[in-house]
Structure 1
Amino acid sequence: MSAFSLADVYRARRRIEGRVCRTPLVESPALSRIAGVPVHLKLETVQPTGSFKLRGATNALAGLAEEGVTRVVTASTGNHGRALAHAARSLGLEAAVCMSSLVPKNKVDAVAALGARVVIAGRSQDDAQVEALRLVREEGFAFVPPFDDPRVIAGQATIGLEILEALPDTAGIVVPLSGGGLFSGVAFAAKRIAPAVKMTGVTMARGAAMHASLAAGKPVLVDELETLADSLGGGIGLDNRHTFAMTREHIDQLVLLDEASIARGIVHAYREERLVVEGAAAVGMSAVLDRVLDEPRGPLVIIVSGCNIDIELHRRLAGA
């Protein structure tokens, strides 16, 4: 991805300005006590669609609209689809979102409520992508990948700019890791501005495709399993062009969490931080609670990626 540069990230920020929130960075006294250094939470939960995905989707669709594209489609575990539907509606584009039967109903309903055409296909992200590519071939849609796309990555990378502008002495950034769009974008921007920043990716132990791919030295297929961190599910694509190499280049530590640990993070967020978060957004907090992060040298930032959890599930976990 040699053509990708920091200039692309600043261009993305200009393109999404006014359509996407510059999100708060707030200190967590509870997590700071455990970590022994200041811990700050980057709250992507306040985005209009409830997750960071709005950044990448908005940048990608705005670029496509400039090129005259009118119909877009994606495959999603929920949050990217919701972001694409929101961005498409604001830009006047037709949108279709393909999702597997594993995607929680609340996320499917949220996409439909934004006016996108919803297609349920198979039981994995890979199945949903096959259906999305059929719509490209047969109905003339433009495909917008959920993570492995330069414009999507550049949009997510704007989080890295905001973190280092707000907290220039940041020593480490903890990022939920799935297909790598968020991680590779934030890491790319952060390490070009502050090369010493330590980048940690955190994911679930059940069906972690990027972890398996990094271990194998190439993109590999994994079985997609049910997990509290459903937004981190799905493969990275055997023909991955960008995020695998960028993640491998920039990752300093990779942490796997079991389901009990993810649940503890969700509960902690609610009881101590007064935040309702989904499992994927809780993993950074879980890693601090479990004391599995390499010893931080200074201020630590955790990206809290989204709040789109099924509310009944949240009640059962948090006892609310």
Structure 2
Amino acid sequence: MNEQSKISAGQSLTVEDVRAARERIRGAVIETVTSYSRTLSEITGANIYLKFENHQFTASFKERGALNALLLMSEERRSKGVIAASAGNHAQGLSYHATRLGIPATIVMPVTTPAIKVKQTESVGGKVVLFGEKFDDAHAHARQLEQEQGLVFVHPFDDPDVAAGQGTIGLEMLEAFPDLDVLVVPIGGGGLMSGIATAARALKPGIELIGVEAELYPSMHGAVKGVSAECAGDTLAEGIAVKEPGVLTRKWIAELVDDILLVSEPDLERAVSLLLQIEKTVVEGAGAAGFAAVLANPDRFAGKNVGLVLCGGNIDTRLLANVLIRDLARSGQLSRLRITLQDRPGALFKVMRTFDAHRVNIIEIYHQRIFTNLPAKGLITDIECEARDKPQLDALIEELHDEGYAVHRVEMD
């Protein structure tokens, strides 16, 4: 038959479409590992199973849907070249597989896209055009270029062919662990959740399906629940920062998904940090959203077999370093203490002895004599320090207070 997709023609999505996609893309994408995490299970009180889609060649699940869509195109359509709008991961997946198949690929990305995603998209063969602040701006420009240049638009999520490719993740997870009680899946435009939900409902009708969005971008949550959803702000999960979810995906998600949870920025940061510390795996904010939801709602998932999709690992290294440092500060391992001293010989030395007695390591010391409202002989000293944990730091602060020092923590913004 003609390679033109029957799926797209009917705008439907079935488990048969997902199974066909799996055979179509087999061998060209990695069938990533799903594994049980003993430590994360102990932390959350649930049985946590992780699907490592951040181990794909382009570090994202997006390869699956992009390749499925490309393979379903006729030779005539392929020869025109493809174009897409993407915050990064769809861009890389489409560019990589289009280039591998000899298809020119143009990608329109928001100007706010992390540099690592721009570089990686270009490195796998995509021609990058930066336009607009958010995905929606880039999307509108891509549709304009589609018309002007006669290109074939490949939507990152609102396309049955793309969603069918993403759904292959659900098949793999339930084949590996049929006893999963719930799947927790990040939602941006909804293609990943739509595909996985379609596959999971067919394989295990009673399974619980939970979507996750960032609190700053609750677009699918608002669309499905019929409530107003303001989407704005800088989120760590920029990969799911979509103001307007798909028309098709919102229909599929409304029919198949049990609930959509919203996660805060601190929850996302903690999830990214824990996955690196414990699983030794780098996950971007969007990829950690499912785990963030479990961390934020322990009672809801307690005792259940929970499948999580670590859907992407493309995070800027500087941003990752910042996330890790901030998490150490929140946990009390890193802190800045502001201490008021008298400006006299030996004053700072006495404070240092107290730090030494509590085995709290000093990283940096800052003196402030001039720009302060203290008396002329007053002195403010900020000490950045590293403790084993919060109780050790609390004990140090208590003793400093007992010795007569005015001490307070300089809180992180």
Q: Same fold (TM over 0.5)?
A: yes
Alignment counterpart, residue 27 of structure 1, candidates 26, 36, 54:
36
Displacement, 1:2?
6.8
The answer to whether structure 1 residue 128 and structure 2 residue 131 are counterparts is no
TM (norm. structure 1) is: 0.93
- What residue number does 1:60 align with? 69
CA contact (8 A) 2:294 2:301 kept: no
Q: More deviation in 99-108 or 264-273?
A: 99-108
Displacement, 1:292?
4.7
Alignment counterpart, residue 172 of structure 1, candidates 182, 188, 193:
182
Letter of the 1:56 counterpart: G
Q: How does 1:33-52 map to 2 (within 5 A)?
A: 33-52=42-61
Q: 1:152 to 1:278 in 2, by over 3 A?
A: same
Deviations 1:109-140 (A, max 9, x none): 11112221111111111111111111111101
CA contact (8 A) 1:31 1:288 kept: no
CA–CA separation in structure 1 for the residues paired with 2:244 and 2:33: 29
Displacement, 1:173?
0.5
Q: How does 1:187-266 map to 2 (within 5 A)?
A: 187-216=197-226, 222-236=230-244, 240-266=246-272
Structure 2: state its 5+ residue gaps. Answer: 1-9, 329-413
For the pair shown, which has the larger CA radius of gyration, 1 or 2?
2
Q: 1:151 to 1:296 in 2, by over 3 A?
A: farther
TM (norm. structure 2) is: 0.73
Letter of the 1:200 counterpart: I
Deviations 1:177-208 (A, max 9, x none): 11110011101100111001101111110122
Q: How does 1:68-147 map to 2 (within 5 A)?
A: 68-70=77-79, 71-147=81-157
Displacement, 1:31?
2.1
Displacement, 1:35?
3.8
Q: 1:124 to 1:293 in 2, by over 3 A?
A: farther
Structure 1: state its 5+ residue gaps. Answer: none
Q: CA RMSD in A?
A: 1.9
Q: 1:78 to 1:224 in 2, by over 3 A?
A: farther
- What residue number does 1:280 align with? 286
Q: 1:222 to 1:131 in 2, by over 3 A?
A: farther
CA–CA separation in structure 1 for the residues paired with 2:225 and 2:76: 39
Displacement, 1:101?
1.4
Q: 1:8 to 1:228 in 2, by over 3 A?
A: same
Higher normalized contact order (CA 8 Å, seq sep 6+, divided by chain length): 1
Aligned residues: 316
Deviations 1:212-257 (A, max 9, x none): 222327xx885443210010112335xx431001111122122111
CA–CA separation in structure 2 for the residues paired with 1:132 and 1:2: 22
The answer to whether structure 1 residue 18 and structure 2 residue 24 are counterparts is no
Q: 1:35 to 1:317 in 2, by over 3 A?
A: closer
Q: Percent identity?
A: 38
CA–CA separation in structure 2 for the residues paired with 1:301 and 1:102: 31
